[in-house]
Structure 1
Amino acid sequence: MDQLLNDFSPGLFFMQAIILLVLILLMRKFAWKPILDSLQNREEGIQNALDSAEKAKLEMQNLQADNERLLQEARVERETMLKEARDIKNKMIEEAKSEAETQANKLIEQAQTAIEGEKKAAMAELKSHVAGLSLEIAEKILNEELAGKDKQLNLVESMIGDAKLN
């Protein structure tokens, strides 16, 4: 260190200091400013990329939330549609059952009416037939019994006697 102090020259020191200052000024003008500008631009680019990434992330979250909301709405709508379809199906089944029951009741009523009519017609025919047979039998019996005059007088007397008793 002693040797450095002995070899120290103030003129050389000032010259080197001036060269250093000129070099610093030239570096500042031609190197530092462009380097700092490029660093600033790079920093801004990185910040913009980070901001864009953050925006994209938020948009993705919003899209996912929208998708979830849409899916939920679709599920609710599907459930509503299925419920309505079930209700319509049950209503149609009930209506069909009711209509079938009404038709069956009408058919039963018509059948009963037809049976009753047929029964009455058969009874009338049977009565007519029985009456006809009865008249024929009575006619044959009367012809046999009233073949003689004595039998006719006895019949008239017995009828008069029966009429008085009643």
Structure 2
Amino acid sequence: MEALINDFSFGLFFWLLIILVVVVVIMGKYAWRPIINALEEREKGISDALASAEKAKLEMARLTNENEQLLKEAREERDAILKEAKELKDKIVAEAKESAQTEGAKLIENAKREIEDQKLKALAEVKNQVSALSLDIARKVLTKEFEDQGKQEALVSDLLKDVKLN
């Protein structure tokens, strides 16, 4: 260090100082201004990118909220549709049961009527057959009874006893 202080020359110092000033001026005019402009542009680009990222973040939050709201509405609509479908199904089933019961009751009533009609027809037919048989038996009995003249007179006298004159 002492060697530098002992060898100090004002002329060299003066030229070095002028060269330094010229280098600083040239650098300021051609290098520092473009470097500073580039740094400012980069800083502006970064701040714009951060602002865009913040906007995108806010937009994503908004879209997420919208999606959640749409999903909630879709679920509510689905639940409402399912409830409506269940109610419609229950109504259709109830109507079908009621219709089946009504139709069944009609069929049972028709069957009862048909059975009653068949019963009455059968009874009428039995009565007809019984009366035909009774008449046939009575005819045969009376034919047997009336073959004998004495029995005929006895029957007539018995019948006359039962008849009361007014």
Find the counterpart in structure 2 of residue 33 from structure 1.
Answer: 33
**CA distance, structure 1, for counterparts of residue 62 and residue 98 of structure 2:** 53
Identity %: 50
Correspondence 1:92 to 2:88: no
The one-letter amino acid paired with 1:30 is: Y
CA distance, structure 1, for counterparts of residue 145 and residue 13 of structure 2: 187
- 2:127 is equivalent to residue 123 of structure 1: no
- In the alignment, structure 1 segments of 5+ residues that lack a partner are none
CA RMSD in angstroms, aligned pairs only: 2.7
| 1:135-154 equivalence runs, <5 A | 135-154=135-154
Deviation at residue 162 of structure 1 after TM alignment = 0.8
Deviations 1:63-84 (A, max 9, x none): 2112111211221121112112
In the TM superposition, residue 24 of structure 1 has moved relative to its aligned partner by 5.1
Measure, in 2, the Cα distance between the counterparts of 1:12 and 1:26.
21
Distance 1:165 1:17, change over 3 A: farther
Q: Report 1:145-164 matches (<5 A).
A: 145-164=145-164
Paired residue for 1:62?
A: 62
Q: TM-score, normalised by structure 1?
A: 0.81
Q: Does 1:105 align with 2:105?
A: yes
State how many pairs are aligned.
160
Whole-Å Cα distance in 1 between the matches of residues 49 and 137 of structure 2? 127
Question: How far apart, CA to CA, are the structure 1 residues paired with 2:85 and 2:68?
Answer: 25
**What is the CA–CA distance in structure 1 between the aligned matches of 2:136 and 2:86, rounded to whole Å?**
73
Equivalents in 2 of 1:93, 1:12: separation in Å? 113
